[in-house]
Amino acid sequence: METQAVGMAAYIQPIIMLVLMVAIFYFILIRPQRKRDKQFKELLANLQVGDEVTTIGGMFGKITKIKDETIVMEMGTVEKTPVHLYKWGIKEVKTKEKA
């Protein structure tokens, strides 16, 4: 009888360790990434004309038009150059000040 109990413990211990490892990976890696993805989707959904944005390529400008999946932003100080890009290319948004 005791040998069966020892044998069962030998099978249960690796299963418990595997479950613990999966839980640790979930809380350290997967959950924070999902939170960042959700914040990024909210950022893109809340884009407005007049917002100052920075792209993932390091360019910055002001949004002039918003379409379904693309935006048009103006770049430059003297000559305003329109640039068309996808929304997913936005890295940061500085929302225009409301008067």
pLDDT tens for 24-60 read 999 999 999 999 999 999 999 999 999 999 999 999 9
pLDDT tens for 56-89 read 999 999 999 999 899 999 998 888 899 999 999 9
Would you state the structure tokens that stand for residue 21, as one six-digit string? 């490892």
Q: What Cα–Cα distance (Å) separates residue 57 from each residue in 13, 51, 88?
A: 49, 17, 12
pLDDT of residue 99: 42
DSSP 87: G
- Mean pLDDT score across all residues of the chain: 88
